[in-house]
Structure 1
Amino acid sequence: MRTTVSVLALAGLLWAGAASAAEAPADLVFWGGPIHTADDAHPTAQAVAVRGGRIAYVGDRKGAQAFVGAKTRVVDLKGAALFPGFTDAHAHLYGIGQRELTLNLEGIQSAAALAQAVKAHADKTPGTGPVLGRGWIETHWPEKRFPTRQDLDAVVADRPVVLVRADGHAMVANSAALKLAGVDRNTKAPSGGDILKDANGEPTGMLIDAAMSLMSALAQQPTPEEMRRTFQAGFKVYSEYGWTGLHNMSVPWDQALMLEDFAKAGELPLRVYNAVTPEAGKMLLAGGPRDAADSRVVTRTIKFYADGALGSRGAALFEKYHDADTTGLVQMKAEDVVPVYEEALRKGIQVATHAIGDRGNSLVLDWYAQAFAEVPTAERKVAEPRWRVEHAQILTPADIARFPALHVIPSMQPSHAIGDLHFAPSRLGEERLAGAYAWKSLIAAGAIVPAGSDAPVERGDPRIEFYAAVARKDLSGFSAPDWHPEQAVDRETALKMFTLWPAYASFAEKDLGSIVVGKRADFSVFDVDLMTVPEAAIPKAKALMTVVDGKTAFRAPGW
């Protein structure tokens, strides 16, 4: 694309800080540390000025001085680094809050330790109500197996226990929970799910993907006040991590409305972009995209599930798992979902579909292509729909090129690659690893790859995600020889993956994602420069400040 002289001149004018300093002083000025803009024309700056919630100046410190008035708040970074607001392009905000308030099983090192954690929690919360928890991963346990109902029965037999695997695609239940849900040796798994059974045909307690719905009878509908507390816990931890926003996945309608209420009341410190459940999608299709509190909460996407997860062997593969006699689970059928996709195209609703396995991804691309063919551009409410595939973890080489060819966005989570490296080779075998977590190949093919965390599946820390994107190693610095280190990206690309590209994936690149005059003033400040510190130092950085619409959302104590 040819850039005209006038456009270049305008860019230079804005960069020089001529954005009308004489109109009024800035509300806020930053200087005193490295500033990275995610703007290719001017990737770094010495100072930024903010007026009315938008960026009024980006340039050198001398130019910024003209924006300082008697009431201007000047923030001396004192060597800390300022970035465009980091945005988690795939997370579950309510689940993040739940993790803070319920039995958190992250880091459990064995089935025995899992049982002891359940016992300790049950002892602290006596009664007959269910014991609910989440976060376990068995791939590194000495027992080399999934947990079972017998593990749980040994410590809690008189009340239901249900523990969700970290990926959210499997759960283990004790005998009391199975009995209450009516699950026994004769229960048939629903389509897209599996009930694991032992050699005698009895349920082991493990329910995979759609089979987890059999436990819905145990789900206690939270009160509005409980929902509020859960969201507030999520707000707090995400602001403190350094995020200024997130793309909130699989959101029920009542949660989307509650988030709008938070925003309207000025109680939402993050920018939230909602992708609702298929059930809530019916309301979205009927009423159209929603924008609350000057885009603090935007709801315009429906999230679907094509398959399950790799760790619980629910991801749909073309060939059998390398370590099990299964090809995974397909959650949808073309005849059911493609008509909904077509309606979404006609009504300007974005579609995001979860796909992890190579077959799951290929099916989604097929279904998207079918919908695009059935609804030509002239019949679409939005000519450029920016549909997404969430995860895009395991791809065949041929499908990598299909993403940019179809203008489909692969929304990926770097930390999955550092967690999964300890079990993905055994699940997939060496050959399929070539298309696993292939951010660099997708970007080289022309795809835009927004990055997220999938929290609470992962911790949800931007430092870990940034490190995973550029290092492709676990937090100890380990990476397997067959883990394709060439898929790591450079830091400039990683910065876009967490700033400019999530903005693009949410139709907001004119307002968000880079530090450019006229855009909204969303910033993340870390105590070290993520672009220059040694690789191993990235996860040790501290978030010092987040700014959303020019207002401080979080500031570290003592800074």
Structure 2
Amino acid sequence: MDLEFIGKIYTLTGTEPVDSMIVRDKKIVYAGPRVHGIPRQTVDLAGAIVLPGFVDCHTHPLLLGLLQKQIRTNPPLLNTLDEFLKAIEDRAREIEKGQWLLGGGFDESQWSLPRLPQRDELDRVSGEHPLLMVRACGHIAVANSLALKLAGITEDSVDPQGGKIVRHEGFLTGELQESAIPLVGRCVPEPDPSVTASAISDASKYLASRGVTTVCDMESGSGSSEEWDLYSEGLREGNWKQRVGLFIVFEWFKVRGKLPLLEPGVTQDLKLLGLKVFADGSISGHTAALHEPYLHDWGRGIMRVSEREIEEAASMALSHGLKLAVHAMGDAAIDLVVTALSKFGVHGGDSFTIEHAALPTTYAQGMMAKHGIGVVTQPIFTYAEIESYLNGLGYDRTFNSYPIRSLKEQGIKVALSSDAPSTAHSDPANPWLGIAMATGRRTARGMALSGGECISLGEALKSYTAIGAAVRGFENCGCLLPGCDADFSLWDKDPFKEGPASMPGEALATYRNGEVIHSAKTWTSY
């Protein structure tokens, strides 16, 4: 029987909400004024607001789930270097000798002593345990002496391509940048399958609680864990709730020479969408590739690939009917990427996206508009990590970063997403944080960035739903219209009345395909 929801329902196709939405066989069949006289089950939402389910089209769910089981160091959980070191020391006492100490989420720029922990400090608190702690951005890590030894890293080691083993006066500091991190990471034992299964389940529950019904895993195949098997099992067992699209790391694909085989029974909810390439690092970690140097050390970041390698990845993606997503944050990296992708002309079309695009030049914006290159960006970065941006870029470049309105005005498709857990915020997948930043351009510390780059709330919500779905190629989701999948979330506040900054992190309920995948409150039908 049809199920009708009665309340304030924002379809995002107009300025005003409708008061009735009818679901049948996992699809929305009607959204508009209430029609009486037809027998159906009815749910009175009692004041709750209905929005389309969020499409978080750039996330790392397995990492998100695993981090919950490791040493979490995100602010405001930990706010000083001493607290960071104490958290490591406390965990070291709880585990057996020789077991790895793992964790992440810290942002040293927010500490009273804004510097990375040094190797001797890590050695002092980690005891007889190898240690690897990844910075919030995911592009910087610190390791202790035992971890470096296990990885075979010495003062004489050569930096890997696209990475750096940091030294001070010839001695290892413990800091690893970009492609140097896997030198230690590959020494970490694979987690037990029960741990990864639990991590995926925990991530799904958390995402559902934030109103997220569709995600993209943007780094499948980055290690030896094959996430597609985890998702297949999770969907079969009911422990993974979201629709998910996979992007395979291009380096993994080149080594394996083949794409993963997805099981036939889950292909509607699990799709292989594309390949992923890293062109540079992060702004907050000061490894994104820039034209003008960083202020703190006068470096220009790390360019991880060449123009030729971008072309190779694009050709490979197109030949397999896949999309190509290129991580590029700094202006130098973005310019290189759009130059490479422009050689494919309109043939590339919606197949190419720039991920993050913190500092696109006028040239890059024009090329993106001309060649149909989309942007998937994360306003939560400047919201949560403004100190590191100011330290590295200074005021002017930070003020004008993430020019979402300028991109949209040129006809570029811009999707909003979280990149969770790769941010310093302790609630990394909360869409309202990025939406508030995109609409108000005011950081968590109250600093205002260029108001001329604000977009409307309606635009921001569409960028986190329908546009995200369109950019990634998901059909029939991200909106509340007849024929669309019945993916929606319920909230106890109206963002159009009270503003996105007032919205709670947790949804009252989240539905996918018309079924509840999260509920903080129970509604009865009649």
**Counterparts of 1:110 and 1:344 in 2: how far apart (Å)?**
44
User: Quick check: 1:497 aligned with 2:463?
Assistant: yes
User: Quick check: 1:463 aligned with 2:432?
Assistant: yes
Quick check: 511-520 or 215-224, which moved more? 215-224
Aligned partner of 2:195 in structure 1 is 226
Match of 1:121 among 91, 115, 122: 91
Q: In 2, are the aligned partners of 1:292 and 1:298 still within 8 Å (CA)? A: no
1:42-191 superposed matches below 5 A: 43-61=16-34, 63=35, 65-69=36-40, 72=41, 74-107=42-75, 108-191=78-161
Deviations 1:338-392 (A, max 9, x none): 123113223311000100100111111111112x15xx74xxxxx7443111101
Q: Is the radius of gyration larger for structure 1 or structure 2? A: 1
Q: In 1, are the aligned partners of 2:232 and 2:263 still within 8 Å (CA)? A: no
Equivalent position amino acid for 1:527 in 2: D
**Counterparts of 1:419 and 1:410 in 2: how far apart (Å)?**
20
Aligned partner of 2:509 in structure 1 is 545
TM-score (norm. length: structure 2)? 0.92
Find the residue that maps to 2:442 and give its secondary structure: coil
Offset of residue 337 of structure 1: 3.5
Aligned partner of 2:451 in structure 1 is 485
Q: In 2, are the aligned partners of 1:260 and 1:297 still within 8 Å (CA)? A: yes
Q: In 2, are the aligned partners of 1:500 and 1:512 still within 8 Å (CA)? A: yes
Match of 2:312 among 336, 339, 350: 339
Aligned partner of 2:166 in structure 1 is 196
Q: In 1, are the aligned partners of 2:92 and 2:127 still within 8 Å (CA)? A: no
**Counterparts of 2:190 and 2:264 in 1: how far apart (Å)?**
27
User: Quick check: 1:526 aligned with 2:501?
Assistant: no
Aligned partner of 1:4 in structure 2 is none
Q: In 2, are the aligned partners of 1:247 and 1:273 still within 8 Å (CA)? A: yes
Equivalent position amino acid for 1:501 in 2: I
Find the residue that maps to 2:245 and give its secondary structure: strand
User: Quick check: 1:29 aligned with 2:4?
Assistant: yes
Q: In 1, are the aligned partners of 2:335 and 2:363 still within 8 Å (CA)? A: no
Deviations 1:71-92 (A, max 9, x none): x2x2221111101111112110
**Counterparts of 1:195 and 1:113 in 2: how far apart (Å)?**
25
User: Quick check: 1:215 aligned with 2:187?
Assistant: no
TM-score (norm. length: structure 1)? 0.87
**Counterparts of 2:390 and 2:38 in 1: how far apart (Å)?**
55
Offset of residue 126 of structure 1: 3.3
**Counterparts of 1:355 and 1:194 in 2: how far apart (Å)?**
18
Match of 1:514 among 465, 468, 479: 479
Deviations 1:106-144 (A, max 9, x none): 112122111001011111223321101111111121222
Match of 1:450 among 412, 415, 427: 415
Alpha carbons of structure 1 residues 487 and 292: separation in structure 2 relative to 1, 3 Å: farther
Equivalent position amino acid for 2:90 in 1: A
**Counterparts of 2:468 and 2:70 in 1: how far apart (Å)?**
30
Offset of residue 407 of structure 1: 0.5
**Counterparts of 1:301 and 1:67 in 2: how far apart (Å)?**
45
Match of 2:279 among 267, 291, 306: 306
Alpha carbons of structure 1 residues 507 and 288: separation in structure 2 relative to 1, 3 Å: farther
Q: In 2, are the aligned partners of 1:241 and 1:543 still within 8 Å (CA)? A: yes
Aligned partner of 1:38 in structure 2 is 12
Q: In 1, are the aligned partners of 2:210 and 2:505 still within 8 Å (CA)? A: no
Aligned partner of 1:20 in structure 2 is none
User: Quick check: 1:358 aligned with 2:328?
Assistant: no
User: Quick check: 1:348 aligned with 2:325?
Assistant: no
Find the residue that maps to 2:275 and give its secondary structure: strand
**Counterparts of 2:294 and 2:444 in 1: how far apart (Å)?**
27
Offset of residue 191 of structure 1: 1.2
Q: In 2, are the aligned partners of 1:157 and 1:176 still within 8 Å (CA)? A: no
Aligned partner of 2:397 in structure 1 is 432
Offset of residue 537 of structure 1: 1.3
Offset of residue 548 of structure 1: 0.6
Instruction: Report the count of equivalent residues.
Output: 513
RMSD: 2.2
Gaps of 5+ in 2: none
Alpha carbons of structure 1 residues 254 and 536: separation in structure 2 relative to 1, 3 Å: closer
Q: In 2, are the aligned partners of 1:288 and 1:348 still within 8 Å (CA)? A: no
User: Quick check: 1:254 aligned with 2:226?
Assistant: yes
**Counterparts of 1:265 and 1:67 in 2: how far apart (Å)?**
36
Offset of residue 217 of structure 1: 4.2
Deviations 1:515-537 (A, max 9, x none): 11111110011111122214541
Equivalent position amino acid for 1:44 in 2: P
**Counterparts of 2:257 and 2:509 in 1: how far apart (Å)?**
34
**Counterparts of 1:287 and 1:121 in 2: how far apart (Å)?**
37
Alpha carbons of structure 1 residues 363 and 190: separation in structure 2 relative to 1, 3 Å: same
**How many percent of aligned residue pairs carry the same amino acid?**
27
Aligned partner of 1:270 in structure 2 is 242
Aligned partner of 1:418 in structure 2 is 383
Q: In 2, are the aligned partners of 1:291 and 1:299 still within 8 Å (CA)? A: no
Equivalent position amino acid for 2:45 in 1: L
Equivalent position amino acid for 2:108 in 1: E
Q: In 1, are the aligned partners of 2:357 and 2:402 still within 8 Å (CA)? A: yes
Offset of residue 557 of structure 1: 4.4
User: Quick check: 1:206 aligned with 2:175?
Assistant: yes
Equivalent position amino acid for 1:347 in 2: H
Aligned partner of 2:366 in structure 1 is 401
Deviations 1:197-254 (A, max 9, x none): 113x101000000111220342111233222111111111111122112121111272
Equivalent position amino acid for 1:451 in 2: L
**Counterparts of 1:258 and 1:161 in 2: how far apart (Å)?**
26
**Counterparts of 1:274 and 1:66 in 2: how far apart (Å)?**
45
**Counterparts of 1:531 and 1:300 in 2: how far apart (Å)?**
33
Find the residue that maps to 2:408 and give its secondary structure: helix
Q: In 2, are the aligned partners of 1:246 and 1:273 still within 8 Å (CA)? A: yes
Offset of residue 441 of structure 1: 1.0
Gaps of 5+ in 1: 1-24, 378-382
Find the residue that maps to 1:88 and give its secondary structure: strand
**Counterparts of 1:469 and 1:433 in 2: how far apart (Å)?**
14
Q: In 1, are the aligned partners of 2:510 and 2:517 still within 8 Å (CA)? A: yes
